[in-house]
Amino acid sequence: MIKSILVPLDGSPFAEQALPWAACLAKVATAHLELVRVHDPVPPWTIATEGAVAATAVDPTIRDAEEQYLANCAARLEEGGFTGVTHQVIEGDVSEEIARHAEDNAFGLVVLATHGRGALSRLWLGSVSDALVRRLTVPVLLIRPAEGSAIPRAEQFRKVLVALDGSPESESAIAPAIALTNPKRCDVVLLRVVPPVPIAGDAGMGATMVMDDSVTEALGRQATEYLDGIAARIRSPVVSVSTRVVVEPGVAQAVLREAALAGAELVALATHGARGLRRMVLGSVADKVLRGADRPVLLTRVPDRR
């Protein structure tokens, strides 16, 4: 059960597109909702052109404006029926301070807007969101901002696809995903992508690599048994579970395609694989899924075992 949700904002309309999703999830889970913004330092040009005294005078004004911005966002949510929304301005490095704030205050979920398409290139849509996902140990729900000013309606998740790689670490994505679904009824699709195995010694001998069908089929059967075991463990009167094994070399592409075919409203995966091998490490599969997804993505970071 999620007891508190944190929404980082940067003052842009794009980042604010995370608010409806966070508010909807907070209402369903009766969770506390907090908005946070990291105080922007005085612009370097201010010090260079007007001196340190002028910069000192500007800084409180900037902070007051940031606090008022958060207060206005909270007020809009409360006007929509989401009461008890708190807000706070913190200082320091953006990704480090948000991560520390989330972890020190035991937030159960962080919701933020991330990479956009085309001209959508703002603070939260690039390096900061990447750094946050790599730094946070709290599950993070990433929402791709829509083009234009319209904010899509946020609804409860009723169907979620969870991508697994066969490791216990990857299974850490399951519980947070189910926690975000409709508590009365949800469908969970467990997906395992099995890359085809080439015949040993064949690599480099021809333009087309020959695959070892017998080994690949055996891995497929093992994957099916693995998913069936997980499904039996999490299935309940309110959680319907189906499984899907796909043989394909492009893991991320397969995850995105299967999510679309299943009609999943949410894609969930862990960002690390077994024993530090980083099978689903950000920068590889998880990063490609995040950048290519046209629906919300839930990432749960698993600490390295090193």
Q: Which of the 8 DSSP states describes residue 62?
A: H
3-state SS, residue 239: strand
User: What is the rounded average pLDDT for all residues in the chain?
Assistant: 82
Say whether pLDDT at 111 is over 70: yes
Least confident range from 37-41, 65-69, 181-185, 231-235: namely: 37-41
Q: What is the pLDDT of residues 193-232, one digit of tens each?
A: 998 888 865 555 555 666 678 888 999 999 999 999 999 9
Please, are residues 162 and 215 in contact by the beta-carbon 8 Å criterion? Answer: no
Does the pLDDT at position 120 exceed 80? no
Q: What is the per-residue pLDDT across 65-83, written as a single tens digit (0 to 9) for each?
A: 999 999 999 999 988 888 8
Compute the average pLDDT of residues 171-192. Answer: 94
According to DSSP, residue 42 is labeled: P
Q: Is-contact 89 62, C-beta < 8 A?
A: no
Residues 142 and 115: their CA atoms lie apart, in Å, by: 9
Q: How far apart are CA 221 and CA 223, in angstroms?
A: 5
pLDDT of 263 > 80? The answer is: yes
Please tell me the predicted confidence (pLDDT) of residue 29.
86
Cα-Cα-Cα-Cα torsion 213, 214, 218, 220, nearest 10 degrees, comes to 10
Q: Is the dihedral of CA 213, 214, 219, 221 positive or negative?
A: positive
pLDDT at 12 over 90: no
pTM score: 0.84
- pLDDT tier at 1 (50, 70, 90 boundaries)? confident
Q: What is the mean pLDDT of residues 295-303?
A: 88
Q: How far apart are CA 161 and CA 259, in angstroms?
A: 6
Q: What is the mean pLDDT of residues 243-268?
A: 96
pLDDT at residue 183 is higher than 70: yes
In contact, 26 and 82? CB cutoff 8 Å: yes
All structural domains of the chain, each given as residue ranges with its CATH number in brackets, are 4-143 (3.40.50.620), 159-300 (3.40.50.620)
Q: pLDDT at residue 84 above 60?
A: yes
Q: Are strands 297-300 and 140-143 parallel, antiparallel or unpaired?
A: antiparallel
Q: Percent of the chain having pLDDT more than 70? A: 77
